[in-house]
Structure 1
Amino acid sequence: MNAVVEVADRALRAALVGIISIMVAVVFAQVVARYGFNRSFGWADEIGRLAFVWSVFLGMAVAVRARGHIAIGLLLNAVPGGLRPALGAATALACAALSAIVAWEGLLIALDQWDERMISLDLSAGWFLVPVVVGSAFCAVFFVSQAVMRAPR
Structure 2
Amino acid sequence: MRDFMERLALATGLLARAGLWFSGIGLVLMTAFVFAQVFYRYVLGTSLFWAEPAAVMLMGWFIFLGAAVGIREGYHLSFDVLLYVLPEKVRLTLFTVSDLVICGFAVGMTKYGWELAIKTASTTMPGLGISGAFNFLPLVGGGVLLILFCIERILRRAVGLPTSRFGDDHEPLPTANDAPAAKER
Paired residue type of 1:117:
T
After TM superposition, the score normalised by the length of structure 1 is 0.89
| 2:37 corresponds to | 30
| 1:150 corresponds to | 157
- Aligned-residue offset at 1:10: 1.0
CA RMSD of superposed structures (Å)? 1.8
Unaligned runs of 5+ in 2: 1-7, 161-185
The 1-side partners of 2:150 and 2:39 are apart by 42
Any conservation in 2 of the 1:110–1:129 contact (CA below 8 Å)?
A: yes
- After superposition, give the CA deviation of every residue in 1:116-140 in whole Å (9 maximum; x if it has no partner): 2112221111111000110111111
State which of 46, 53, 78 in structure 2 corresponds to 1:39. 46
| 1:114 corresponds to | 121
Unaligned runs of 5+ in 1: none
State which of 71, 78, 93 in structure 2 corresponds to 1:86. 93
Paired residue type of 2:14:
V
Paired residue type of 1:94:
V
- Aligned-residue offset at 1:91: 2.4
- Number of aligned residue pairs: 153
Any conservation in 1 of the 2:125–2:132 contact (CA below 8 Å)?
A: yes
- Aligned-residue offset at 1:61: 1.1
After TM superposition, the score normalised by the length of structure 2 is 0.75
| 1:62 corresponds to | 69
- Following TM superposition, the consecutive aligned residue runs of length 4 or more in structure 1 with deviations greater than 6 angstroms are none
The 2-side partners of 1:73 and 1:117 are apart by 45
The 2-side partners of 1:152 and 1:90 are apart by 16
